[in-house]
Structures are given as C-alpha cells and as structure tokens.
Amino acid sequence: MKRKQFLHRVGLGTGALALSPWLTSCLTFSDDELQGSFRNRLPFPGQITDPSFNLSASSAEIEIPESLSLAAFQFNNSVPGPTIRHVKGQELNIQFTNNIGQESIIHWHGLIVPPEMDGHPKDAISGGAYDYEFSLNQRAGTYWYHPHPHRITGEQVYRGLAGFFIIEDDEEKALNLPSGNYEIPLVIQDRRVSDSGQIIYNPSMPERMMTGFLGDTILVNGAPSPYHEVEPGVYRLRVLNGSNARIYNVAFQDDLSFMVIGTDGGLLPEAIETNELLMAPGERADILVDFSGLKKNSIHLISKPFDVPSGGGMMGMQNMMGSSGPEQGTGFDLMEFRIDGESKQESVDLPGQLSESTFPEASSADRTRPIRLDMQMMNGHTINGRQFEMERVDERVEQGSTEIWEFINNSNVPHPMHVHAVQFKVLDRSGNRGLTPTETGWKDTVLVMPGETVRVIMSFNAPKGLYVFHCHNLEHEDNGMMANLEII
C-alpha cells in the first residue's frame, strides 16, 4: 500500500490537532547534517509471557558496541530488561529478587495496582525477594517498569533497570494493527560517556537541583548508533522516553508524517497525523509510520530542536555546570531505518474511531487541587513548598472522587509530572503551547514547562492506601521532588 493511500485511509474521520507556533520548527535538515554512522543492528530484549515469573536484578560489567562499557544493573541479565507482555484480566505472580547491593523496589509505571504492589519507596528491600500479586485491570497499552527507591532511582534506571510492559485486549486486537515483525518497541535513552569509553553517572549537585543529568550519546534499546531493516510498509513503533531528564521532539527526516494512535494509557479515541511529537521522560507514544513510497532507501528517526520557554537561566547554567551533553532542546539523530525488499503485510486500514474512551467532564470534579512546583535556593525543587518525607501524607483524596489537579510550574526548568494509581486526562495548559497529540488520550505523565499551568482531571478508583506522585526528571525526584498521596 502506498503512503498516500495509508494517510488518506487513516485520515478519514481522524482527529486534527494544530501544532502551536511554539513547537513547530521551521528548521530543515540537509542530508549532510543528518548523515550519522549507524553501524549497530537494533537489539530487542526477550519477552516474558508466563503469568508467574522472576525478575532478578543483578550487577555486571557489560560491553556495548562502539567500545563502550557500563557498570550495569540488569533485570534477568538483560539491558534493557525483558519485555513483559500479557492480556487484560491476567493474574500475575512476580518475584523480584534484589542482588545489586543497593535497596530497590519495582514500580509498574502506568499500572493501577494495590498500594503494596505499586513500588512505594518505603517498601524497598536491601536484598532478598519481594512478591507481587495483582490483576491487569488495564486498557491495552505501552507501559513500563523500573525501580523506585528513594534518592537512587536515577542511578538504577540509568545503569539499566527498566523494561517495557505491554498489555493487549480485544478492543485493540480487533483493529488488526501491525504486529510481529511490524511492531517495534523503542526505548530512547541518553548516556554520558567518558574519554575512556565508560558510561558514567555522576550528577553534580547543580544538575540534581536544576537540569537533571543530560548525556552526550543516544542509546536505543541499549545500543548506540542503531539501524533497523524494514520493508516498504506500515510499522507500529512503541516509543518510550526512558531518559532521566532529556526531552525529545521525535520526528522523521524530511518531515515524514506519521499517525499517533496511542499514548501512556493506551489507544487514542482517534488517530492524529503529525510530523513531530514532544516526549518528556516517562512518556510513551504509539505511532504508525509508512515506509513505502519514499524516494530513498533509508530514513532517520530524529529529535528536532525545540525551545524551552523562560528557560534561559537553565540553558546557560548547563554549560556552567560542565555538562558535556547537548543542551535541552538541541536537535540530533536517534537511529536509522533501512528500507529494502517488498512488503508482505496485509493493508492497514484504520477506522475513524480507535477506542471508546469516556473522559470525566470538568464539571464533574469534586474539587480543584493546586500543585505548585517551586525552587528553593540551596535546597532544590519542591511540591507545594515541601520535599519528600517517607511517612508524611501530603495529599488525601477520597476513593471514588474525581479531582482537577493544577500543576503550576513557578520554576525555570521543565517538570514531567507523574501520578501513581491513576490515568488522567489533560484538560488544558496556559500559554500558546496547546495540547500535543498524545494528550488527547489517557495519560499518567504530563510535561509542565517553565511558567506553565497544566490542568488534568482524574478519578481515584484505585485501592485505598499510600501512593506517590513526583517529577519524572529522576534527578529532581531523587533530590526530593516527590510527595505522598493517600486514597482514603
């Protein structure tokens, strides 16, 4: 099927979302500027489909292509960790074994599970095992898992402890989306490399308090400079920003359009066509791209440049801190797709409606709760003027209630805010940035730029107990930008 046919078919009845002038870039890339040296075949971690399994965290020195080395933490001897794939309604029994020499606990990012199964930092174990038992009462979607101990989450994720958690259901299967070899999970992470080729994690105090730890080398599925061979057909890419702090403006070379079909909490109501997509740490996007009808036999996945509003202080400070990585908002290559052969897949024909989603109306909210994101000199970022304390309850909500939370960013750096135990809908944001395509669906992480106020609405239907919400810039989280949420 030709690309024009694909876009015409999925365009029938699909949503249209205007990109704001703030985000849309007039910058064009020449072939010379985008010619990287992509020498390493894109790797894929193994899959876990058994409902009872062990996730063992261990340490090891591993070698990475391009003569890089990493003092790694691994799940089941794999970096990234194995992809967990199950169907909605499945009962899971998971034993987490901690052999890394640090305390740790696993958070199932995006899943709504009982509080003792959610990976609260108070449940971290220094060794031995922690047993998880929960049901997958989730919509189909691209979720993920990673550690959640207090003050050392950033290091453990950076050194390799993260993996995809994919859930399928009947609604999604009925769409006959690209699958098998035509479905590609991509976790994008930046890493800092020393002169000797060692991947290092040594954030300075200013980096913990301000920018977060930004790397100078991009890894996709754990490999630098990767390429993947595809047919001239339609592919489904499940994209995860697994970086500690870096934001990506995901796009294709030559402004190739793609269709956004899903986000943090699964399928969108309607597919949306775009040519760039801003993704903060912790966010996911499910996209369809058609590689047929291109005039050349390869195309690059890139991160396009973007501006950080009111971020002048932050951007200048990054160089003062001695950071070697490209500044936040810099454009660069991510990976290469090499197109060859003939497509063997059946045609992809999306309906006008992808899924049935009933979002709560703003008028149904029981209350509006301001969540102020501030900066305290010589201390760091705060939520409503406080930094994290393990047992203190910061916000109490009634089970079954619906609330609007206003994330008010009074600082000069971005904050991707993640709320455990819910999926929410973004209502609006101040300024001229508007909503991104992924924000038309269910979310668990939302980017709040400097000076912005972002309103989200959510219903608290999870089991009663203690959860957390926090900034998913992991250096900010580790430095105390986290709070306890109790459902009562």
What are 130's strand-pairing partners? 96
Q: What is the average per-residue pLDDT within 49-68? A: 97
Question: Residue 313 above 50 pLDDT?
Answer: no
How many other C-beta atoms lie within 10 A of the C-beta of residue 8?
10
The mean pLDDT of 49-54, rounded to a whole number, is 98
- Output the CA torsion sign for 56, 280, 361, 367: positive
Residue 161 contacts residue 143 (beta carbons within 8 Å):
no
Interatomic CA distance for residues 360 and 404, integer angstroms? 10
Q: Rounded to whole angstroms, what are the CA distances from 333 to 32, 243, 284, 471?
A: 12, 15, 19, 26
Say if residue 429 is exposed, middle or buried (CB neighbours under 10 Å; 0-12, 13-18, 19+): buried
Look at residue 111 and tell me whether its pLDDT is greater than 80.
yes
Tell me the average pLDDT across 313-341.
Answer: 76
47 in Cβ contact with 82 (< 8 Å): yes
Residue range 351-395, pLDDT digits in tens: 889 998 899 999 999 999 999 999 988 788 999 999 999 999 999
- Rounded CA-CA distance 163/78 in Å is 9
226 preceded by cis ω (within 30°)?
no
Indicate the pLDDT class of residue 484, thresholds 50, 70 and 90.
very high
Q: Where are the alpha helices (DSSP H) in 178-311?
A: 205-209
pLDDT (0 to 100) of residue 323: 57
Q: Lowest-confidence range among 16-30, 75-89, 322-336?
A: 16-30
Domain ranges of the chain: 3-28+175-339, 47-169, 362-487
pTM over 0.85: yes
Give me the CATH topology for the region 47-169.
Immunoglobulin-like (2.60.40)
Q: What average pLDDT does range 416-437 have in this prediction?
A: 96
**Which ranges of 152-279 does DSSP label H, i.e. alpha helix?**
153-158, 170-173, 205-209
Helix and strand totals (H; E) in the chain: 7, 34
Q: Name beta bridge partners: 300.
A: 336
Encode 332-365: b = buried (16+ Cβ within 10 Å), e = exposed. ebbbbbebeeebeeeebebeeebbebebbeeeeb
Domain 3-28+175-339 and domain 362-487 have a common topology: yes
Range 237-259 average pLDDT = 98
CA distance 101 to 222: 22
| Domain with residues 3-28+175-339, CATH architecture | Sandwich (2.60)
Residues 49, 86: contact at Cβ < 8 Å?
A: yes
CA distance 104 to 127: 8
- What digits encode the pLDDT tens for the residues 427-463? 999 998 999 999 999 999 999 999 999 999 999 999 9
Domain 362-487, what architecture? Answer: Sandwich (2.60)
Token pair 């994209």 is found at 239
Which of 196, 200, 222 is CA-nearest to residue 67?
196
Pairing mode of beta strands 465-471, 482-487: antiparallel
Question: Do 356 and 445 contact (CB within 8 A), yes or no?
Answer: no
